[in-house]
Amino acid sequence: MSNRVNRQVLTLDEFTIQQMRNYPQATGELSNLLRDIGLAAKRVNVEVNKAGLVDILGDFGTVNIQGEQVKKMDVYANNQFIGVLKHGISCAGLGSEELEDIVIFNDEISNNSKYVVVIDPLDGSSNIDVNVTIGTIFGVYRRVTKPGTPCTIEDFLQTGRNQVAAGYVIYGSSTMLVYATKRGVNGFTLDPAIGEFCLSHPDIKCPESGKVYSLNYGNILQFGEKIKNYIERCQKKSKKDGGPYTQRYVGSMVADVHRNLIKGGIFMYPGTVDKPNGKLRLLYECNPFSFIVEVAGGKASNGKQAILDIVPDQLHQRTPFFIGSKLMMEEFESCMNS
């Protein structure tokens, strides 16, 4: 009789452990860290799913029926991720879009941990009230300061290329966790029946080209000429080149970039006259997505250079952001260089 166990789906934990088995030198710290993030994501998911009930349970930021202050969802999410990572054994500290300064965990185990995490705990949070997809975005760096000491800002101000892993959680029609290491990008869908993320999208590759461009068209008058020319090119694509391209913009980057990662497309958040660096944050939003999309075969740039090569000098710095399918990005870059 065969010993083989007939199991069709791997859970997130099983998958990371299997990856670790293939690399005997691995210590398991990264697997632990991903498990911690998965746990916090499940907790956030439960609350996000209840968001439509706020009218009967009490609005966020107000006092609920038990007389307790109801936390805003993004604050709640931030606390969940900090909580699991602080209590875990793999993370020395965290930088969050929600907080002005880094959080240094500074206990004996955390100080001996290899990794630091950057996170946008709940991106697109203005979409919660209207039941539109939102997400969590994270990047993981190996710290550059000496293990055994508290982490410092230096550990966080690394180029995106130094990420050892990056991922996002999408709270949509289903909830998914997608993460990348240099070895590949894998997607896990939350099975509510068992409360586990299950491998549903193994080895994701971004199609070389697509038919979708995503950007906030309302800002068109504020964009530079080269960007406007590129958008016009998208609109004037001939039928034989798959045109005219379709414009899709959810206003939650996690949803827009996820769709383009799976189906092909380009996402843009350019600088404007008022905000030359645009809106999106390099550390918490752009670097993690750029890492994921590059591993999947796509590209990401700020219009002049690869996002992953930018040397950050501030935690919360912003950057124009263009990301997507390889051939579309190459056409975009040639427009920018013309």
Q: Which residues bind ligand AHM (CB under 6 A)?
A: 120, 123-125, 216, 251-253, 279
Q: Taking Cα atoms as reference points, which of 247, 263, 281 lies closest to residue 100?
A: 281
**Which does residue 114 touch among Mg ion, ligand AHM, none (CB within 5 to 8 A, set by kind)?**
none
The answer to whether the CB of 47 falls within 8 A of the CB of 131 is: no
**And the tokens for 206?**
């971004």
Binding marks (x or -) toward Mg ion, 298..317, rule CB under 5 A? Answer: --------------------
Cβ at position 170, least distance to ligand AHM in Å: 11
Question: Quick count: other Cβ atoms within 10 Å of Cβ 43?
Answer: 16
**Which does residue 125 touch among Mg ion, ligand AHM, none (CB within 5 to 8 A, set by kind)?**
ligand AHM
The answer to whether the Cα torsion of 305, 308, 314, 320 is positive or negative is positive
Q: Which is nearer to Mg ion, 119 or 328 (CB)?
A: 119
The helix/strand count (H/E) of the chain reads as: 9, 13
- Give the E-state strand segments of the chain in sequence order: 91-96, 103-104, 115-123, 134-142, 163-171, 175-181, 184-191, 196-201, 212-214, 246-247, 266-269, 299-301, 321-324
Q: Which is nearer to ligand AHM, 216 or 317 (CB)?
A: 216
**Which does residue 98 touch among ligand AHM, Mg ion, none (CB within 5 to 8 A, set by kind)?**
none
The answer to whether the CB of 34 falls within 8 A of the CB of 197 is: no
**Which does residue 113 touch among Mg ion, ligand AHM, none (CB within 5 to 8 A, set by kind)?**
none
Q: Which is nearer to ligand AHM, 91 or 134 (CB)?
A: 134
Cβ at position 81, least distance to Mg ion in Å: 13
The answer to whether the CB of 104 falls within 8 A of the CB of 150 is: yes
The answer to whether the CB of 163 falls within 8 A of the CB of 291 is: yes
Give the bridge partners for 137, in sequence order.
120, 168
Q: Which is nearer to ligand AHM, 91 or 128 (CB)?
A: 128
Q: Which is nearer to ligand AHM, 10 or 177 (CB)?
A: 177
Helices 12-21 & 29-49 angle (0-180, nearest 10): 170
**Which does residue 279 touch among ligand AHM, Mg ion, none (CB within 5 to 8 A, set by kind)?**
ligand AHM
Q: Which is nearer to ligand AHM, 125 or 319 (CB)?
A: 125
Cβ at position 278, least distance to ligand AHM in Å: 9
For the chain, give the longest Cα–Cα distance: 70
Q: Which is nearer to ligand AHM, 194 or 220 (CB)?
A: 220
120-139: contacts with Mg ion (CB under 5 A): 120, 123
Cβ at position 151, least distance to ligand AHM in Å: 24
**Which does residue 216 touch among ligand AHM, Mg ion, none (CB within 5 to 8 A, set by kind)?**
ligand AHM
Cβ at position 124, least distance to Mg ion in Å: 7
**Which does residue 110 touch among ligand AHM, Mg ion, none (CB within 5 to 8 A, set by kind)?**
none
Interacting residue ranges for Mg ion, rule: CB under 5 A:
120, 123
